[in-house]
A and B are shown apart, each in its own frame.
Chain A
Amino acid sequence: MRSRVSFGMAEAVVLLTMSSMARIFLPFPRYLVELSGPAAWLSSVAGLFLALLQVYLFYIILKPYPGENIMDITERTLGKVAGAALNIYYGFFFITIAAGFTRIFSEALLVSALPRTPISVVATSFMLIAVMGAYLGLETMARSTRLTYPFVLGGIVVLLFGLLPRWEISNLFPILGSGPVNVFIKGGFNAAIVTEIFLAAVIVQSFKGQEVFGKITSRAMLMSFGYLIILEMVFIMTINWNSAQESTLPFYQLSRLIYFGRFFQRVESIFIIIWSFIGMIKISLTLYASAFVLAHAFRLPDHRPLVLPLAVIIYSLSFLPPDLPSSLELERIIRMHGVLPSIILPVLVLVLDRFRRRGSKNEAS
């Protein structure tokens, strides 16, 4: 069908990691602190476990059908029409995610770095880059991620450990924050919704198929959740959870506090480079995924013609919410409703699939 692009395991891991780390730079960690108090990092740990469960779920869905991705399996289980409809729905899901992220990333950049630039300029730049990335293909994106990840991840580590003089371990107490229910269930649930697992299931054929799907995705989840946990810990340790809830952009706030003597202070602008990288990677990857899914659903041989129109759609959608807090709210709702394609529908597919196979086995015997 379409050309099999393939890249290695390390590149796939890095690509998924960087893409799912995008939310670290956005107001998301603040929300976790609001939910769980000083135990926000515990919520992330709980989220990690839930994410790994998700990985396992997808793994068992994909296992019996080597050579196919989640969309093929959906079509196979639910029949051509319903399957195609479901795939189109997946495509729209990606579109909404991309729109939400574009909006929030652009807003974040405006708040922190470029206060007077009109938001359309920033969003346009993001979109242009995303178009270029999606056009050039997954292989190029994975390779460039592989190239830049030492700088990006290293920069994050430098930042977080550069705040060492400010760490106040007692800020992590009381340990269970706002209560175990809040921390683990509500917080964990919120942290666990990661669209990258589903994305990995879509592009699974690009990296050597299902045998390594489990390994790749679980490793990527470990890494990205690891960074989330460390960030939350440093965030709470540096800024008391009370005041931490107030900051719009936790990462930016942290980078503003670095102070190594008179010369090395207020270097937060360097971190703008890091996080715009991750933003661009995430948005181009999601754009690519939506083009890919829709191309598959409509039985098109190539996803590239869809990239530009989808970019325009995402661009216009991203301007719908009137302001930053409401766009955050909207994004939260979208993420919640991301449970549907990430968990519920695959479970449905799994159940139906097993049903069918047991049925056919009964027939055969």
Chain B
Amino acid sequence: MKEILKNIIQLISYRESAGPEDFILEENLFDKKAVESNQGGSGEPPIFAEKEGADSVNEGRDEGSSQSKGRVRSRRRKKGESSGEEPEQQSNGGDQVHGSLEQNRNRIDQIYGLPVNKDLIVRSFTMGTSPPTGGFAIFIDGLADRTTVNLLLQNLMVHTRMYCNNEGSPASYIMKNLLPGSQIRTLDSFKKIADSVNYGDTAFFFQGSAQAIVVETKGWERRAVSRPNVEQTISGPQESFVENLRVNTGLVRKIIRSEKLFTELFQIGARFPSDVAVMYLKDLANPQLVEEVKRRISSITVDYVNDIGILEQFIEDDPYSMNSQTLSTERPDRVAALLAEGKVAILLGGSPFALVVPVTMYSQMHTGEEVYLRWQYGTFLRYIRTISFYLALLLPGSYLAVVLYHQEMVPTELLLFIAGNREKVPFPTLVEMLLMEFSFELVREAGLRIPGIIGSTIGIVGALILGQTAVQANIVSPILVILVAVTGLASFSIPSYSLAFAVRIYRFFYIIMGSVLGFFGISIVLYVQILLTTNLKSFGVPYLSPTGPRTHSGPDIVFRLPIFMHRRRPDYLNPQDDIRMSQNPRGWVEEGNGGEKQG
């Protein structure tokens, strides 16, 4: 009885919660100027301290300022500024490897926070030299390839016979003679050692050596090279990039087998670096272009770049423009083709997409499909894509303009039918259209995240709901459903994801202006879009070449001439060598002498 009473009273009375308080992130008490804070007691200074004059870190703002919108003038490099790949930090002069194993060991413990941080493995060994030398190896479990590490250790521990001739430093001797790793170097700065170990290398410290040896032993689990997900074609190779930088460069390299294919590596990201590879053909690409690309990449000062999309936003000319100024692709064959035209490719470790610059709107509308097919089919495909581009952009806006302002354009029967169907719908046409567009975008967005099992069911439900029932419930008229569906399909046919997005957003402007000012509104937005797009430059190349400024590359814009007529490379790139075919690329076609190659 008493229990029950107690329980009831407990139920209805107020109790202060005895649980822990909610977790609140306090405002830090450190120096406000530092962007980073809370270094965790390692005593290292903030990575980006504000200094007068030199790089000020404003997140995302491009260097320099300009007075007109959309026009970015990159700041000319001031004298004395270094072109270092890493942001300025305190020099590592005092952080060298010692000769004593103990001290090295302690330093490693300190840096990595052992024994709390369980990722780093420290393996001590003794080499079979006379006298025996001690040492230890460090590597990160999961990043380093166990087999290789075993092999290296085996070599050092078992197969080593060293005679004590101290000619050079023991480290260089060991490096030259004893360690069979394929990529190997000596480092003496703890920072650099830590960087390498973080990426999967193994570092060896030896007694009495003031240098450590770092061996490349990368070998973590990765996705195998598979079919492209986003850019599928019927003809052509079916490989796509993976997340590993070296595999990606390898994929490109195996198509372009030339010693003139240069890959320059950069590291960006101050806190933890990511590798960026810039690939170009040395004897083909415009050196100024390459220089500009390298300059922009190496001048990025940010703490972490984890995807190539972020890199793109940092280096593009006009971040406020709606159209993207780089081409992102996941197919190595496409990258190779573009490199062979004289463009520059940028790859980031950890991202399965590559960026190619400079790009024109026409390149963004091309796929490999029509290159690998015959020119008639290619041209046909291109024309269909062009028409769908216009449809995706203009169709809803034009429909609104016609139905609201210019009803005389519609044939009488159709107009009466549209009017009849609209009699029942309570919303004005603009609201109807926006509703349908929004629900289509909803379907598109939600479709990305539906788990696979119920995905197809939801698809049917969505189609039913949005199509059939909405019409029958008199929320929309059937014409509109057709229209929105066609527009959606048309926007899917644009190969470049960024361009498709741009088109989707522009479409809304057209809808609004079409319903406000009819065809005049449409022409206003059209003109503004043309002005803004013509003004855009992608790494120095006008975005709408070769029709913006009329340059020479005729054979491959929309209409595609036969492949043996593509004699010249695109002119707007100003490559070092224009000609890519001889006068008569089909040698077997007779020119008087039976099939001999000419030119």
Contact = CB atoms under 8 A, between A and B. Distances in A.
Interface string A256-267: 000000110011
Contacts of A121: 517
B549 A143 contact: yes
Given A113-B406, A136-B531, A266-B409, A147 B547 contact: yes
Contact of B527 (A10, A113, A129, A263): A129
A10 B542 CA distance: 17
A113 B518 contact: yes
Contact of B520 (A143, A148, A272): A272
A267 B526 contact: no
Contact of A277 (B405, B527, B532, B550): B527
Interface string B469-507: 000000000000000000000000000000000000000
Contacts of B265: none
A269 B519 contact: yes
B549 A7 contact: yes
Contacts of B535: 136, 140
Contacts of A273: 519, 522-523, 526
B528 interface: yes
B187 interface: no
A269 B518 CA distance: 9
Contact of A143 (B405, B408, B542): B542
A146 interface: yes
A140 B534 contact: yes
A144 B548 CA distance: 7
A270 B519 contact: yes
B411 interface: yes
Contacts of A269: 401-402, 405-406, 408-409, 518-519
A114 B405 CA distance: 7
B548 A146 contact: yes
A276 B518 contact: no
B68 interface: yes
B548 A143 contact: yes
A265 B408 CA distance: 8
A157 interface: no
A345 interface: no
B383 to A, nearest CB: 15
Interface centre among A11, A272, A277, by most B CB within 10 Å?
Answer: A272
Contacts of A280: 523-524, 527
Given A8-B549, A146-B547, A280-B527, A266 B408 contact: yes
Contacts of A144: 527, 530-531, 534
Contacts of A263: 411
Interface in B358-390: none
B544 interface: yes
A280 B521 CA distance: 12
Interface in A339-355: none
Nearest to B70: A136
A135 interface: yes
Contacts of A147: 530, 534, 544, 547-548
Nearest to A137: B535
Interface string A92-126: 00000000000000000100011001000110010
Contacts of A11: 549-550
A332 interface: no
A55 interface: no
Nearest to B548: A143
A247 B547 CA distance: 38
Nearest to B408: A266
A133 interface: yes
Interface string B389-422: 0000000000001100110110100000000000
A8 B550 contact: yes
Nearest to B412: A262
Contacts of B405: 113-114, 269
Nearest to A272: B519
Nearest to B544: A147
Interface string B520-560: 10111011101110110000001010011110000000000
B523 A146 contact: no
A143 B524 contact: no
Contacts of B411: 262-263
A132 B524 CA distance: 11
Contacts of B402: 269
Given A113-B405, A114-B405, A276 B549 contact: no
A238 B526 CA distance: 32
A304 interface: yes
A297 interface: no
Contacts of B401: 269
Contacts of B520: 109, 113-114, 122, 125, 272, 276
A294 interface: no
Contacts of A159: none
Nearest to A274: B523
B193 to A, nearest CB: 51
B594 to A, nearest CB: 43
Contacts of B408: 266, 268-269
Contacts of B526: 273, 277
A141 interface: yes
Given A11-B549, A113-B405, 15 more contacts: A109-B520, A114-B405, A122-B517, A132-B531, A136-B535, A140-B531, A143-B544, A144-B534, A146-B548, A147-B530, A267-B409, A269-B402, A270-B519, A273-B522, A277-B523
11 contacts: A7-B549, A10-B550, A136-B70, A140-B531, A140-B535, A143-B544, A144-B531, A147-B544, A262-B411, A269-B402, A269-B409
Interface of B: 67-68, 70, 401-402, 405-406, 408-409, 411, 517-520, 522-524, 526-528, 530-532, 534-535, 542, 544, 547-550
The 10 closest A-B pairs by CB, nearest first: A269-B406, A266-B408, A276-B523, A143-B534, A273-B523, A144-B530, A272-B519, A144-B534, A140-B535, A143-B548
